[in-house]
Structure 1
Amino acid sequence: MPKFSIGDLIINILAPDWAIHENFKLFTTKEGEPDIECQVIFQEHQDISVEGAQLIMETPKNKIYEINGNILNISGDRKAYSITSKDWSTYKIYINSEYNNPNNEEIIQKVKNGILASLRDLLVGALAQKNGLIIHSSTIIWQDKGIVFPAPSDTGKTTHTLLWQQMYQTPVLDGDVTACRINNDTPVVYGLPWCGTSGQFINASVPLGAIVFLQQSQENSIIKLDFQEAFLRLTARCFLLPWNQRLMDQYLDTIQRIVGKVSCYLLNCLPNQESVELVKECLKKQ
């Protein structure tokens, strides 16, 4: 059974080799006891009974129920569903057996991408148990620390980190999402196998150095944020599970601890070298 270390969580994945996305391979490990046991099960299509279940969230893509202490997540087309234990330590993904076809390249890619996306949702919940969360951001490593650039999609995260690469050859920890955990009272950031269209990620972790929120503008400027503004902005850029009050309390506590320990900035910027220099000068003064 392949074992992966992602965000300092050890995940066993029981699935056919062809169904495991290539992005996971960089995170393969032989060390540590598993925090999460994940199983991928192909089975004949069947109606999924939700008798006795409580509907806790519905979107165009899925319905989420709580049943017997577990979380049941059913896809909109009902061709896949997952069951997660209350403590997020066991996870089963059920996929219609019509997709169990390792000879069809189109199906293989759909299955890989589906499992990849499903496991990101799992990690959002599992990290909360360990003082962690996932931030929608692009992150570079600068002077052995992670500089996180949170922003909505199409705001310029990738462009900004590419400028850092071109000017200072900074490694990109992850081009789209970053895990952050409080370890021994220190915020630490991790590269993840989910990297969006940037295609950039590495299996590494470094202390968090600063958070710089990106905002498009007609001119470059940067300000340091106070605690309240930084807290609100970081909350807006995190992947959360709002239907679970216990996890929300944990997320908010972790966000509060992160913001209380690192400097946070708002960068109004153009996609040019001057914006990079503004950030670099702020980091030098920390």
Structure 2
Amino acid sequence: MFTGKYKIADKVIEVTSIYEKVHDYCKGYETDEQADFSVAITPEDIKSEKEKSDSEYSYEGLPLPNFSDDLLEETAVYRKMAEKTPAFDTVVFHGSVIAVDGHGFLFTAKSGTGKSTHTALWREYLGDKAVMVNDDKPMLKITDNGVIAYGTPYNGKHHLGCNMSVPLKAICIITRGEKNSIVRIDKSEAYAMLLQQVYRPQDPLQMAKTLKLVDKLAENVELYKLACNMDIEAAEVAYNAMKG
């Protein structure tokens, strides 16, 4: 067994794993501080992740993947973390967060729509002013005084992101469109997508807490919908509308 402690979203998590690769994945987040909570992986957890993965691929009509046990364990660690973070007013969110001038902007969309492509356009358009916080699964700490977005080790297939935090100014839902246009939307228009993209715990109490946090999230950040064609102009249109 392998054990390490990592500080993610200002909480210290002690991780006990079967394989060492999990701890390589979490490099850059190490700490010696006292743990706020712990997760431990069993062979049953890895088996469960394989079953979930096979089921998802079968549903999509795709060939079953041959993920290694240590890769499945990484997913199991992520899932166990995400199950526990709502107790600390924090959720895992599927999206891409970029920081500009001390403000965070989160882009989310249905899979394959192009949220990572869009944040790449922001980096092209804004240069060094734009910093990737996390390109896949940031954590959001949601309080009455605002929302803070945090980088996590779970930063997408291109590993874009870093161990940093930023106040979240806005969430933007991306759709495909021939012309680039952006509009401000209200909570009712955004809620279904927010709920779809947040990690939804299996534990009923933590799920109830997550629903309350999603409500508070929608009330504490600006909400937008962007239709874009993935041209560099899309970044210009989005940035100028959202920067305030």
Which TM-score bucket, shorter chain as reference? Answer: 0.7 to 0.9
Q: Deviations along 1:3-61, whole A, 9 cap, x unmatched? A: 10112221112346733342201111123x2122233457xxxxx8xxxxxxxxxxxxx
Structure-to-structure mapping, 1:6-85, within 5 angstroms: 6-15=8-17, 18-31=20-33, 33-40=34-41, 75=48
User: Residue 187 of structure 2: which of 203, 227, 244 is its match?
Assistant: 227
1 or 2 for the larger relative contact order (CA 8 Å, sep ≥6)?
2
Give 1:283's aligned residue. 242
Q: Deviations along 1:142-188, whole A, 9 cap, x unmatched? A: 11121000112211111111111112121111111111012463211
Q: Which amino acid aligns with 2:14?
A: N
Separation in 1, partners of 2:17, 2:159: 24
| Greater fraction of residues in helix | 2
Q: Which amino acid aligns with 1:34?
A: A
Q: CA RMSD in A?
A: 2.4
Cα pair distance change 1:77/1:209, threshold 3 Å: closer
Report how many residues are paired.
Answer: 226
Question: Is structure 2 residue 126 aligned with structure 1 residue 125?
Answer: no
Cα pair distance change 1:110/1:236, threshold 3 Å: same
What are the ranges of 5 or more consecutive residues in structure 2 without an aligned counterpart? 52-65
Give 1:200's aligned residue. 160
The alpha-carbon deviation at position 216 of structure 1 amounts to 1.0
What are the ranges of 5 or more consecutive residues in structure 1 without an aligned counterpart? 43-47, 49-71, 79-106
| Alpha-carbon contact 1:15-1:39 (below 8 Å) kept | yes
| Greater fraction of residues in strand | 1
| Alpha-carbon contact 1:176-1:198 (below 8 Å) kept | no
Give 1:134's aligned residue. 92
Structure with the greater alpha carbon radius of gyration: 1
Separation in 2, partners of 1:161, 1:40: 34
Query: After TM superposition, which residue ranges in structure 1, 4 or more long, deviate above 4 angstroms?
Result: none
TM-score, length of structure 2 as denominator length: 0.84
